[in-house]
């Protein structure tokens, strides 16, 4: 056989190999995505992870295990319920003028919290620990906080009393008895961190949720987003099967309000969300949903808007982050639900 014949056979062999590889890839791509659901209590609330993959249950379980480990590590840094966490130990040194170096995660959480506190004129406040502890006691005892105790707790709070030294990643809690409460941002931060773990393991389609917040990695498939039903302010309110669904794809959604967490004292309802300027639980029934590019932002802004209220909250969004999508529902004085949303703006 001459050189031309050998060249022809080599080309045939080459293209045959290419076709075989292409057909193999097509066969793999045609494998249907399977849903794998994992649930685990984290940060005091149920977390749920849905992974859609063609790689099988062992792969999905390994990805879920790594995700839970990351969130558990964050809880060990952020929890203000446990006395041995990084956050709790930091509070034990408050009021002594000490500068304490903190972990990268806690530093990042604090920086983002302080920035939002500044932009919201204190409507978001990481330093509410003494006040939240006082109101937890009130919920247990079904009684109003003592006025003197409330005044003392307020004196120990205030975002301006949390000082930060960027070059050393160190912080100082200037008031004695000062404690931090990351409840308005920590779950969102954990969702973002969990999604990063899933990305690193090669997961392309996942939905991670916890405590009314969720973050999506891709959609249910390449062509189909996750469809998330919006919460309602009234539990038995009629649901619109299409208008109450929000598509999520590489986006986060957080909901904040008093639908489930509140205390009723002497016939008056107080939310678990506190107004930093008064130290009191919010008394206007409301439900705020925020869609953002990351769960940390969605979580913290939903809390902030709850404190600001519907009118000032809407102004704040237009001024500081007009790309956010927001739904704000509240109960007026006649017990009628009012609201607005910017999902179609």
Cα–Cα distance for residue pair 173/176, rounded to 1 Å: 8
How many other CB atoms sit within 10 Å of the CB of residue 241? 7
Q: Give me the phi and psi of 258, to 5 degrees please.
A: -115, 25
How confident is the model at residue 313, as a pLDDT? Answer: 96
Cα–Cα distance for residue pair 259/96, rounded to 1 Å: 40
Q: What is the pLDDT along the chain (345 residues), one digit of tens a residue?
A: 454 344 334 443 443 444 444 444 444 445 689 999 999 999 999 999 999 999 999 999 999 999 999 999 999 999 999 889 999 999 999 999 999 999 999 999 999 999 999 999 999 999 999 999 999 999 899 999 999 999 999 999 999 999 999 999 999 999 999 999 999 999 999 999 999 999 999 999 999 999 889 999 999 999 999 999 988 887 655 544 445 889 999 999 999 987 768 888 888 889 999 999 999 999 988 999 999 999 999 999 999 999 999 999 999 999 999 999 999 999 888 888 899 988 766
How confident is the model at residue 9, as a pLDDT? Answer: 40
What's the pTM?
Answer: 0.88
Cα–Cα distance for residue pair 50/34, rounded to 1 Å: 10
How confident is the model at residue 31, as a pLDDT? Answer: 67
How confident is the model at residue 160, as a pLDDT? Answer: 97
Residue pair 292/328 in contact by the 8 Å Cβ criterion = no
Beta bridge partners of 264: 269
How confident is the model at residue 212, as a pLDDT? Answer: 85
Structural domains in the chain?
Answer: 33-80+183-224 (3.10.520.10), 90-173 (1.10.3980.10), 249-345 (3.10.520.10)
Q: Are strands 252-257 and 226-229 parallel, antiparallel or unpaired?
A: unpaired
């Amino acid at each position: 056989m001459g050189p031309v014949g050998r060249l022809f056979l080599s080309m045939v062999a080459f293209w045959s190999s290419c076709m075989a590889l292409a057909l193999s890839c097509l066969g793999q791509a045609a494998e249907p995505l399977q849903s794998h659901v994992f649930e685990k209590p984290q940060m005091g609330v149920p977390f749920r992870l849905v992974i859609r993959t063609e790689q099988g249950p062992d792969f999905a379980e390994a990805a879920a295990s790594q995700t839970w480990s990351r969130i558990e590590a964050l809880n060990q840094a952020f929890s203000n319920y446990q006395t041995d966490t990084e956050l709790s130990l930091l509070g034990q040194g408050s009021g002594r003028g000490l500068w304490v170096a903190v972990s990268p995660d806690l530093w990042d959480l604090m920086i983002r919290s302080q920035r939002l506190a500044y932009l919201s004129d204190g409507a978001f406040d990481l330093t509410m620990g003494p006040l939240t502890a006082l109101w937890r006691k009130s919920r247990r005892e079904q009684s109003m906080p003592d006025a003197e105790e409330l005044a003392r707790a307020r004196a120990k709070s205030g975002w301006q009393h949390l000082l930060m030294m960027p070059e050393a990643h160190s912080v100082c809690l200037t008031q004695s008895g000062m404690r931090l409460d990351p409840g308005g941002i920590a779950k969102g931060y954990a969702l973002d961190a969990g999604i990063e773990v899933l990305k690193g393991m090669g997961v392309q389609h996942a939905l991670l949720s916890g405590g009314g917040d969720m973050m999506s990695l891709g959609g249910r498939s390449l062509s189909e987003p996750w469809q998330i039903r919006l919460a309602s302010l009234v539990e038995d309110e009629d649901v619109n099967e299409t208008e109450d669904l929000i598509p999520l794809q590489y986006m986060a959604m957080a909901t904040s309000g008093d639908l489930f967490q509140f205390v009723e004292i002497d016939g008056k309802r107080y939310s678990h969300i506190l107004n930093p300027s008064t130290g009191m639980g919010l008394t206007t029934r409301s439900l705020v949903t925020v869609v953002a590019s990351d769960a940390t932002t969605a979580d913290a802004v939903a809390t902030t808007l709850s404190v600001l209220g519907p009118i000032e909250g809407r102004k704040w969004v237009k001024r500081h982050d007009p790309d956010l999508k927001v739904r704000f529902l509240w109960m007026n004085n006649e017990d009628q639900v009012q609201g607005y949303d910017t999902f179609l703006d």
